[in-house]
Every structure is written in C-alpha cells, then in structure tokens.
Amino acid sequence: MGLAMGLGNGAQRPFQLPQLPPLMLTKSAAKTFFLGGTALCGVAFVLLTMDTLAQLPSRSHQEAMTDQVVRGHHIWNKNNCMGCHTLLGEGGYYAPELTKVVERRGAPWIEAFLEDPEGFFPGRRKMVKYAIFDPSKVGAETAAANKADIIAFLDWVGKIDTNGFPAKPTMNQAGPQIPADAQRLEGAPPFFRSVCSGCHAVGGVGGNVGPALDGVSTRLDEDYLRRWIANPQALKPGTAMPKLAMDEATLDSIVTFLRTL
C-alpha cells in the first residue's frame, strides 16, 4: 500500500530484479581453457594411436601376408575394384561389401563368378568380365593363377580382426515348413556346399535366391536335373540360375546327391 502511494499516480508496477551483466570468460580463462582442452585431446589422440599400433600385428595377422596375397592386392588396386566394392568399409558402395566374401561364398563360387560375372547372373550383374580371369584371353593357367591370387588376398582380408565388422548376413530362412537340419547336407559334394547352397537351401540351410531343393527328386527326373544343371539357360532362357562351369564328375555327384532328396 505504501509502495503504491509513493509512486505518485497510485499505479502499481511489477517488481523487477536488477539486470546482471552476462557471464563471460576472461581472456586469460578462455586461453587456459583452449590450451588445456587442446593438450588433453592431444594426449588422448597419442595414447589411442599407440594402442592401435600395438594391436595391429596381432589383429591384422600380417605374418600370413604371403607373396600370393600381395599379388592379389596388386590385382585389386590395378583394376580399381574399390571403385565399386567396399573392403573393410571403404570403397564405392556400389557393389557388395567383400570383407568376408570368401567366408560367405567360398573359393569355388568366387572362381566361377570371376570367370563370367554377367553369365553367372544374366541381366543382374554389372561387373565387367575381366580378361585376366578369362581362360580364352590369357590362357587357363594364367587365369587360374590370377583368380587364386585375388581369392588369397580377399581371404587374408577376411581374417583380419575387425571387431565383428561386417555383421553376418542372414543368408536364408527356408521357411517354417522346413525345419533347419544341417545333417541333410552331410552327403552333399563340396561343389554343392560352396556354390549351389549360396542360392538353394536343403533342410533349411542355404540361400533363398532359388527354390529349396528338399524333395526335388520327386518333382524332376534324373535326365531333366542333369540337363538343367548343365545349362539352365538352354531350357529356360533368362532364368536367374547361371550356367556353372563344372566337369562331368562334379555334375554326376550333384545329380546323385539331389536324387537322394
């Protein structure tokens, strides 16, 4: 009441706190903060670098870097494979990540793919057919050696300790109607395990690009199976299944195995 009367016109004004000056660092404090933060970050960087260098020999398994691995690395760089693919997370991100490709696909599958990528997946692969892997261009012995070199390099990379990178992809869930039973693959020939199972599943184990092969012998006779595996494009032009390079013995072993399903 007294405050209102003392204002002269009788109007009450809201009580306001006095304005304080904004808090700011002094020049000396800012300089100390900057120098201290820089020093702290510098020490952390040096310690982390030393820790990384100390772990490199064991994690990179450099003792396994053979001459074949080095030749494969030269092939990788010379043909600019990283322009499309990624390796250890670095690269073009246009084509698949290849850090664990040998573990994921297996050497026989990669050999067959490198020889003719477009023929392996008609209309679905943009990778060029490199002459260095083509027996008709450089000879069977040189092509085989080049493929062995690049696979050795990729296999070496795949064994680097990357703390779980990249995560393992889910190759296939064949479906709830086919329970996973890895024992059904026990009688499969090596070529089927490393190449065919990348697209097809048996007993719920394998890929899902192509149909599951459980019970295939009840649907297709032996003659058709043989002709289909030998040259799928001849029976169904444009099919996703590639024509695989295999000898008669390998073809016989695959047909024999499929007849047991």
Q: What is the C-alpha separation between 2 and 176, in angstroms, rounded?
A: 86
Residue 179, judged by CB atoms within 10 A of its CB (0-12, 13-18, 19+), counts as exposed
- Model pLDDT, residue 175: 42
Please tell me the pTM assigned to this model.
0.64
**Quick one: CATH architecture of 182-258?**
Orthogonal Bundle (1.10)
Q: Phi and psi at residue 86, in whole multiples of 5°?
A: -105, 150
Name the one residue in this structure whose structure tokens are 């008669």.
248
Same fold, 62-158 and 182-258: yes
Residue 66 pLDDT greater than 90, yes or no = yes
Q: What is the pLDDT of residues 120-157, one digit of tens each?
A: 666 666 788 899 998 889 998 999 999 999 999 999 99
- Give the three-state DSSP class for 87: strand
- Mean pLDDT, residues 182-196: 80
pLDDT of residue 109: 82
What's the rounded mean pLDDT across residues 23-48? 90
The structural domains of the chain, with segments of one domain joined by +, span 62-158, 182-258
Instruction: Please provide the CATH number assigned to the domain covering 62-158.
Output: 1.10.760.10
Distance CA(139)–CA(163), nearest Å, equals: 40
